[in-house]
Amino acid sequence: MYTIRRFPGILSRGTSSSHERHYLPRIPELYPLYRPQTLPETVLCLNTKHYKSLEKLEAKLRNQLRDRLGLENGAFLFRRLTRLTACLSMTFFVPVISSTNFNNEFGTGIYATHDLGTALDYAGSNGVLMIFKDTDFREISVWKPDKEQWRNLTASWLQIPLVDLRMPHEQKEADVIQGPFLTDPSMAKQQKRFPNQGDKTQIACVGYESCKRLAAHLLL
């Protein structure tokens, strides 16, 4: 039986500073149930100590990865997930179908953001962070809903009973949806109103082709 402890995450509870190191293993050596798909065969890994201060953790990671990745150039996407989901992604890089998909802004999809701090916050103290570089979404449909479209899309997925909700037709053809995080889903449901937008953005790969392209650019 294989356990998820074989898969090293970027966040590892209880890891001492002496174990904060980079290594470049072959993915099959990390997780024997791995299936290639469009994933690379090797991936950079980093185990690091978790800090209660999100700002301190982000600064630590940026410092550790500066020479190897150059995180300041903005070409990166960060995906936060649990260890179990990370392992499952190595067997089939598609979204996990769950009733909790209705809590997501854009529904079922693989979510990532350009903002490292936001991704770390979602990952938590014992999660995993995947880093993708220079993901190529050219020649597929990338939809950036305007504010009114975003309000209708998110309210529909959150199942808020509002009158005259109009699901934008663009969502039917989109491979990637890009837009702001929402800030108050629970309050919006309780008050039966549209949710509010945050100041950070994310992307959701909502089609097979976009998921394949994201997987092909997995770096860490």
Residue-level pLDDT at 101? 63
pLDDT digits (tens, 9 = 90+) for 58-113: 787 777 777 666 666 668 899 988 888 888 888 888 887 777 666 788 989 999 99
Residue-level pLDDT at 2? 31
Residue-level pLDDT at 166? 87
* Angle between helices 116-123 and 54-69 in degrees, nearest 10: 120
Residue-level pLDDT at 84? 83
pLDDT digits (tens, 9 = 90+) for 24-51: 667 777 777 888 888 888 877 777 766 7
Percent of the chain clearing pLDDT 90 (strictly above):
36
Residues 76 and 65 sit within 8 Å (Cβ to Cβ):
no
pTM surpassing 0.85? no
How far, in Å, CA of 167 to CA of 145, rounded?
Answer: 11
pLDDT: is 2 or 165 the higher one? Answer: 165
Residue-level pLDDT at 71? 61
Residue-level pLDDT at 20? 52
The sign of the dihedral angle between the CA atoms of 15, 16, 17, 18 is negative
Name the residue ranges covered by the structural domains of the chain: 4-216
Residue-level pLDDT at 70? 64
- State the Rg of the chain over Cα: 18
pLDDT digits (tens, 9 = 90+) for 155-212: 999 999 998 888 889 999 999 999 999 998 899 999 999 999 999 999 999 999 999 9
Beta bridge partners of 132: 77, 218
Q: What is the DSSP string of the chain?
A: ---GGGS--S--TT--GGG-EEE--BHHHH-TT---TT--SB--EEE----S-HHHHHHHHHHHHHHHH-GGGS-EEEEEE-HHHHHHHTT--SPPP-GGGGGSTTSSSEEEBS-HHHHHHHH-TT-EEEEEES---TTS-EE---HHHHHHHHHHHTT---TT----GGGGT-SEEEEEEES-HHHHHHHTSPPPEEEEEEEEE-SHHHHHHHHHTB--
Other beta carbons less than 10 A from residue 126's beta carbon: 13
Q: How many Å from the N-terminal Cα to the C-terminal Cα in the chain?
A: 25
Residue-level pLDDT at 193? 93
Other beta carbons less than 10 A from residue 88's beta carbon: 17
pLDDT digits (tens, 9 = 90+) for 115-162: 888 888 776 667 788 999 888 999 999 999 999 999 999 999 999 999
